[in-house]
């Protein structure tokens, strides 16, 4: 099968902020860490010693060091504080420039069929967002969250994983489900909360979940999924599974305690988890300038002892390559990896938000026009002879019709019975829950005109 692109493993590690890899004679990739085997427990952390083993030694005649608990530290006569502002920001890995032209040959091979499927799913995701956003504005569903400007993050990262990997999403990753085979009808059923919805109508729209696709159900609470993903990754490690977990979160999620606790746990316990931050500039209406003073999120990984990389989130090839390599490191070396994808939320935070109230419309339009990840990836495909204008028109018409059909079917389907409110939690419902069910049943019977579509 033909492939596109090549990655130079010997130089790839320079993109990560810790311990670049080198190639052995047999072609395998290893990571240089203190000259020891990277798979050993103590090889990637500073050594700890007991207090009674402390000693002071001289290195090179003048540099005195002390073997403190945690490792050897050099002393200095200079009264010097670490700067709060780096001289230069951490660089951002990219493969395609704004016009879809290759600027690097250092990316993971990608099959032609996979590349085309990635683009089709990105177009489908755009179409889903457009139509479901309109459906919410028409009052047909109560809520929706778009992924506008973040299509490459969704689809390219999903393409780099396997179905054995577990996904812990935020609420802007429906494209990951789409890639895994969660159909348009499944999406529509969830948003309309009908009787065949996986969640039986008990979740807000756009809060998907699927056991079949190893996709944990979305929770509105910010960043709670991050420690869950780390704990699940540790479980996979203990079971010796050839899989990892990945968790997605926004820049706003990194302002929570859950994020910091999860990173520390992942680093110390060496959990095979990919921590994927979508730094899109805004936590609802709060800009990143009001959230933190650090150089984004990537430096926080390094501070916790987590290998990290900053990626152009509008570049599908860069995202795909970074996640491919991160997955390999997470599983083969049993380590967490943090990816900060720089992008821009080109849509409103949700249908409950009007972002024009806190940022200029001209800014939004500039990002949509010049940094659209879908258009950039299309230009690359066209340059490779894999896509044409005729394909574009035909597929966009097809995708739109498929989404509209799914909505029509989901909208006409009955809602789940009210009894479903009380199922799936307890094997034997407790007395207080049975009392609530009886109370609701009596209320529905007395006011049937107010519950025309709901029955027990």
DSSP β-bridge partners for residue 64: 58
- What is the maximum alpha-carbon separation in the chain? 91
DSSP 8-class letter at 449: G
In contact, 251 and 281? CB cutoff 8 Å: yes
Query: Are 240 and 278 within 8 A, CB to CB?
Result: no
Q: What are the residue numbers of the active site?
A: 134, 220, 349-350
Q: Is the separation of the CB atoms in 38 and 30 below 8 Å?
A: yes
- C-alpha 376/C-alpha 316 separation (Å) is 8
* Residues 413 and 189: beta-carbon distance below 8 Å: yes
- The phi, psi pair for 71, rounded to 5°, reads 135, 170
DSSP-based three-state secondary structure for 248: strand
Q: Residue 129 carries which DSSP code? A: H
Q: For residue 54, with 0-12 CB atoms within 10 Å meaning exposed, 13-18 middle and 19 or more buried, which class applies?
A: exposed
The C-alpha atoms of residue 60 and residue 50 are separated, in whole angstroms, by: 25
Tokens, residue 140 = 């047909």
In a 10 Å sphere around its CB, with 0-12 CB exposed, 13-18 middle and 19+ buried, how is residue 401 labelled? exposed
**Angle, CA 375 vertex, CA 297 and CA 396 arms, to 5°:** 125
The two three-digit tokens of residue 182, written as one number: 């969660």
**Pairwise CA distance, residues 393 & 312, whole Å:** 28
In this structure, are residues 413 and 196 in contact, taking their beta carbons and an 8 Å threshold?
A: yes
> Are β-strands 29-31 and 21-23 bridged in parallel, bridged antiparallel, or unpaired?
antiparallel
- Give the Cα-Cα-Cα angle 301, 306, 308 (nearest 5 degrees): 65
């Amino acid at each position: 099968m033909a492939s596109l692109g090549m990655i130079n493993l010997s130089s790839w590690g320079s993109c990560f902020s810790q311990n670049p890899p080198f190639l052995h004679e047999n072609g395998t990739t290893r990571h240089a860490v203190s000259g020891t085997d990277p798979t050993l427990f103590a090889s990637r952390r500073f050594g700890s010693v007991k207090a009674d083993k402390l000693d002071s030694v001289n290195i090179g005649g003048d540099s005195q060091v002390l073997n403190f608990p945690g490792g050897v530290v050099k002393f200095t006569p200079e009264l010097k504080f670490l700067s709060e502002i780096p001289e230069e920001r951490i660089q951002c890995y990219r493969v395609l420039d704004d016009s879809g032209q290759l600027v690097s040959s250092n990316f993971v091979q990608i099959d032609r069929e996979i590349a085309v499927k990635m683009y089709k799913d990105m177009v489908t995701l755009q179409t889903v967002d457009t139509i479901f956003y309109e459906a919410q504005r028409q009052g047909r569903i109560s809520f929706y969250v778009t992924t506008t400007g973040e299509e490459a993050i969704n689809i390219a990262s999903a393409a780099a994983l396997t179905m054995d990997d577990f996904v812990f999403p935020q609420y802007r990753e429906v494209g990951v489900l789409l890639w895994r085979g969660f159909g348009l009808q499944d999406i529509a059923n969830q948003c309309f909360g009908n009787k065949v919805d996986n969640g039986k109508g008990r979740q807000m729209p756009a809060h998907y979940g699927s056991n079949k696709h190893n996709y944990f159900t979305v929770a509105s609470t910010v960043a709670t999924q991050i420690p869950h993903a780390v704990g699940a990754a540790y479980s996979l490690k203990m079971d010796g599974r050839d899989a990892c977990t990945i968790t997605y979160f926004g820049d706003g999620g990194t302002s929570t305690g859950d994020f910091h606790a999860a990173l520390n746990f992942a680093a110390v316990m060496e959990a095979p988890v990919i921590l994927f931050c979508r730094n899109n500039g805004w936590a609802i209406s709060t800009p990143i300038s009001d959230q933190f003073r650090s150089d984004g999120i990537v430096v926080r990984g390094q501070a916790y002892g987590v290998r990290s990389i900053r990626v152009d989130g509008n570049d599908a090839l860069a995202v795909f390559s970074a996640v491919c390599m991160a997955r390999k490191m997470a599983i083969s070396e049993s380590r967490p990896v943090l990816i900060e994808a720089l992008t821009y939320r080109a849509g409103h935070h949700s249908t409950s938000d009007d972002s024009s109230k806190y940022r200029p419309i001209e800014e939004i339009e500039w990002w949509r026009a010049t940094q659209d990840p879908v258009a950039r990836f299309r230009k690359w495909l066209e340059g490779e002879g894999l896509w044409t204008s005729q394909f574009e028109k035909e597929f966009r018409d097809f995708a739109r019709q498929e989404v509209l059909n799914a909505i029509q079917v989901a909208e006409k389907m009955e809602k789940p019975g009210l009894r479903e409110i009380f199922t799936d939690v307890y094997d034997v419902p407790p007395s207080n829950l049975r009392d609530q069910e009886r109370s609701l049943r009596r209320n529905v019977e007395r006011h049937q005109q107010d519950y025309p579509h709901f029955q027990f």
